[in-house]
Amino acid sequence: MEPGAISAFTIPSRDFTPAYLHLGARELRRRAEEALSLLESCSVCPRNCRVNRLEDKWAVCKTGRYAVVSSFFPHFGEEDCLRGWNGSGTIFFSWCNLKCVFCQNWSISHLGEGRAVTPEQLARMMVYLQEQGCHNINLVTPEHVVPQILEALPIAVEMGLRLPIVYNTSAYDSLDSLRLLDGIVDIYMPDFKFWDRELARKYLKAPDYPEVAKRVIKEMHRQVGPLVMDEHGLAKRGVLVRHLVMPGGIAGTREIMQFLAKEVSPHTYVNIMDQYYPAGKVSEKEYSEINRRITRSEYEEALAAAREAGLYRFDTRGLVGPRLRLLWLPD
């Protein structure tokens, strides 16, 4: 930890107000209207499918006029700075604009498990989670439903919503969507999955993923800066990047960490995750090289690469953290 880093990235909870409350109801409604217009010839994500989702048509994301929600609940499996002691108020959106062959939420992201919700219903979910004592509203897989989220937000604010918003994304986002979220999202939590274009084509079915991820993570950082927490260790504003270590180092961990340190910020808060396991289509012959868990040495190499790049703010979990899980990772 660099000298002075703790105080530099701490804000008293009494001094924090969620970003969207500064915009006012009129601007929130205007943003929602502009976002909804993107659905008419859909450019909400980098797929640019150009179908009219206002008429309930869909393409890659299989989501029409209304967002589909799989579940919503206080989540205690997130990073400590999000889950705190009352949980992160998580809303899992169904479907996805990526097609990760190793997806660990296959029934949600690939099969669409869940139900369509109106803006009013989505708003009530947010407020319900606040009433449960959650520390934030954590929007999981939101890339393809940004207009629907923005449509629900002013309704939730009128109902009393006052929690910071976490945008929990794969980083396969459009700059149009991020522009509309500027001044609304408090905490961006993007993945950076793959560095190599051809590997992104094979495993995510999105060859442009690395370029998109680099572009949008820079924009997220421009909007909210490095992650800042309150005196209780709860995240309040900023960027938290997740990176899943893959078998054989195929994700490009070293390059990703160098990018974060040099082109985003050496103060970037990073969660280097060890929980990869074979799921989805990984059992198929085409993906046999990732049909195993990672080894202890692969995870340690990932941590070393991050430190060598100049990063120093790492997520360390409590009793379920990566340091303890290392004990049972195979050699």
Q: Where are the domains of the chain?
A: 11-35+67-328
CA distance 267 to 227: 8
In this structure, what token pair is assigned to residue 145?
């439903």
Q: What is the pLDDT of residue 8?
A: 82
Please give the pLDDT value at position 322: 32
- Contact call for residues 46 and 174 (beta carbons, < 8 A): yes
Length of the chain: 331
From the centroid of its chain, how far is CA 206?
17
CB 154 within 8 A of CB 119: no
Pairing of strands 235-244, 269-273: parallel
Strands 235-244, 228-229: pairing is antiparallel
Helices (DSSP H) in 234-295: which residue ranges? Answer: 253-259
Token digits of residue 299: 């995870």
Which residue, 221, 228, 225, is CA-closest to 6? 228
Residue 235, pLDDT score: 98
How is residue 157 written in tokens? 């604010």
Residue 327 is predicted with a pLDDT of: 29
The yes or no reply on domain 11-35+67-328 and CATH 3.20.20.70 is yes
Name the β-bridge partners of 72.
91
Whole-number Cα distances in Å, 290 to 3, 105, 197, 285, 294: 40, 17, 17, 10, 9
pLDDT tens over the chain, length 331 residues: 444 445 689 999 999 999 999 999 999 999 999 999 999 999 999 999 999 999 999 999 999 999 999 999 999 999 999 999 999 999 999 999 999 999 999 999 999 999 999 999 999 999 999 999 999 999 999 999 999 999 999 999 999 999 999 999 999 999 999 999 999 999 999 999 999 999 999 999 999 999 999 999 999 999 999 999 999 999 999 999 999 999 999 999 999 999 999 999 999 999 999 999 999 999 999 999 999 999 999 999 999 999 999 999 999 865 333 332 322 333 3
| Residue spans of beta strands (DSSP E) within 53-212 | 68-75, 88-93, 115-116, 137-140, 165-169, 187-190
**What is the C-alpha to C-alpha distance for residues 170 and 210, in angstroms, rounded to an integer?**
11
List alpha helices for 159-230, DSSP H. Answer: 175-181, 197-204, 209-224
pLDDT tens per residue, range 298-323: 999 999 999 999 999 999 865 333 33
pTM value is 0.93
